[in-house]
Amino acid sequence: MSAPTTVRAAVATPSALVRAGLAAGLGDHGIEVVQSAATLAELRAAGFAGADVAIVDVADEADGDLALPHGDGPPLVLLVDPADERLGEWLIDGAAVLARGASPRTVAGAVQAVLSGLVATTASLAAEALRFERVGERRPALPGADMLTRREREVLVAMSHGLGNREIGSALGISAHTAKFHVAQIIAKLQAQSRGHAVAKALRAGLVDA
């Protein structure tokens, strides 16, 4: 039986004490901190040191725009103030979101989630994110949505229902391999980081119904 693979993480927080605590605590959960810095900008400048994931304390307003473009860096785990009104936007952008001061065990769980293509947060932060959503707010246009074919839109709806490739193929009368191809095209066209991220963006834009 092969040994579990160590996850490489980059950490950004203004507090040297927090950086040291995360490095020690995450090490107990198979996560090696390969780069530490005060800000996300510093991590970017160093190319994230080849890290699989970046853990960022959102304490510096200089890091206000935290959404990474598709393919421009590792997935993010954000440590935030629960009262920050940007919670929902960060979740929609595919980042995991935890309260500042979360335990290394909780951070490690979020790291494993984002590496599996999931969007992770706590129940309380999810409730806060929903509370900040304004009723009747105009839904933004979804870049790439107009590039989707009719079949890809059908597959996207099936994805929003939680169906896997084999189930999508069965529902639409196509092979699982073809369904997998359509899913990959949807993720690329919507500039998403995963299936879940693509569905979240489509829900936000009203392209599919919850």
pLDDT at 181 over 70: yes
Q: Do residues 84 and 12 both lie within one domain?
A: yes
3-state helix, strand, coil in the chain (%, to 5): 50, 15, 40
Looking up tokens 């933004």, which residue turns up?
140
Q: What is the CATH number of the domain that holds 122?
A: 3.40.50.2300
140 is a domain residue = no
Domain boundary, last residue among 132, 163, 197: 132
DSSP E strands in 59-187: the ranges are: 76-80, 96-99
**Measured CA angle at 190 (ends 185, 196), to 5 deg:** 85
* Residue 65 burial (C-beta neighbours within 10 Å; 0-12, 13-18, 19+): exposed
Report the pLDDT value the prediction gives residue 66, as an integer from 0 to 100. Answer: 55
User: Domain count of the chain?
Assistant: 2
Domain boundary, last residue among 105, 132, 159: 132
pLDDT level of residue 197 (50, 70, 90 thresholds)? confident
Q: Is the entire prediction scored with pTM above 0.85?
A: no
210 is a domain residue = no
85 is a domain residue = yes
Are residues 12 and 40 in contact, defined by beta-carbon separation less than 8 angstroms?
Answer: yes
Q: Indicate the Cα dihedral angle 77, 83, 88, 91, nearest 10°.
A: 10
Q: Do residues 112 and 149 both lie within one domain?
A: no
Query: Which residues constitute the domain of residue 198?
Result: 145-205
The string of pLDDT tens digits covering residues 88-130 is 878 877 889 999 889 999 999 999 998 888 888 988 888 777 7
